């Protein structure tokens, strides 16, 4: 008795001509379903990667803002130690001796918010930056003149800003 299944599985023809004569289909590609599944998986992975990259960029810009606020605070305090009083915000941000590398700017190009009390010369200042990551700040903006409004005074408001104020 001749078994064609045994013959086909043991010989393993390499030639497509031989395979077509035996009635075997040539499977030299992927089906449409297989391609769609692979494309869907790749699309999901790309979406996850873009989301993670976007949030990492926001966090990095917020870290830059925090560092800038500390730099501005150091500039105000050095000015106070040298002169004996704080300067108005416009004076501080325009003074090349306070910020030799240039006035710190928000990574998006916006300027930071600054306020002082109404006295001349000012005895208090507050500078804040709006953060992109919601709830990651230490304040919710300005309090009374020249002060930050920190978490205890914010109530239900979200802590979306990073604020520094006078240390003297």
pLDDT digits (tens, 9 = 90+) for 24-79: 565 678 899 999 999 999 999 999 999 888 888 999 999 999 999 998 899 889 88
Is pTM beyond 0.75 here? Answer: no
Q: Are 128 and 154 in contact (CB under 8 A)?
A: no
Judge whether 112 lies within some domain: yes
φ/ψ of residue 152, rounded to 5:
-65, -25
Scanning the structure block, which residue is given the tokens 């704080």?
86
Q: What is the pLDDT of residues 104-114, one digit of tens each?
A: 888 988 888 88
- Is the predicted pLDDT of residue 14 greater than 70, yes or no? no
Within a domain: 155: yes
Q: Does residue 115 surpass a pLDDT of 80?
A: yes
Average pLDDT rounded to a whole number, residues 99-108: 84
Distance CA 108, CA 93 (A): 17
Residue 47: how many CA atoms within 13 Å on its side-chain side?
Answer: 6
For residues 111 and 132, the answer to whether their CB atoms sit within 8 Å is: no
How many separate domains does the chain show? 1
Domain annotation covers residue 8:
no
Query: What is the structure's pLDDT at 63?
Result: 92
Q: Is residue 110 part of a domain?
A: yes
Separation between Cα atoms, residue 114 and residue 69, nearest integer Å: 10
Backbone phi and psi for residue 120, each to the nearest 5 degrees, phi listed first? -125, 115
Mean pLDDT computed over every residue of the chain? 81
């Amino acid at each position: 008795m001749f078994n064609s299944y045994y013959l086909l599985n043991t010989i393993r023809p390499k030639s497509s001509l031989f395979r077509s004569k035996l009635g075997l289909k040539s499977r030299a590609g992927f089906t449409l379903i297989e391609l769609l599944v692979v494309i869907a998986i790749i699309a999901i992975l790309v979406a996850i990667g873009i989301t993670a990259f976007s949030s990492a960029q926001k966090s990095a810009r917020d870290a830059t803002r925090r560092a800038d606020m500390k730099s501005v605070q150091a500039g105000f305090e050095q000015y106070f130690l040298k002169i004996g009083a704080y300067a108005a915000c416009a004076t501080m941000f325009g003074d090349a001796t306070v910020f030799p590398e240039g006035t710190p700017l928000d990574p998006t190009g916006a300027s930071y918010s600054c306020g002082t009390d109404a006295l001349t010369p000012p005895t208090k200042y507050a500078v804040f930056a709006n953060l992109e990551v919601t709830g990651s700040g230490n304040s919710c903006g300005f309090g009374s003149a020249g002060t930050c409004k920190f978490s205890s005074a914010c109530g239900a408001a979200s802590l979306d800003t990073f604020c520094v104020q006078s240390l003297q």
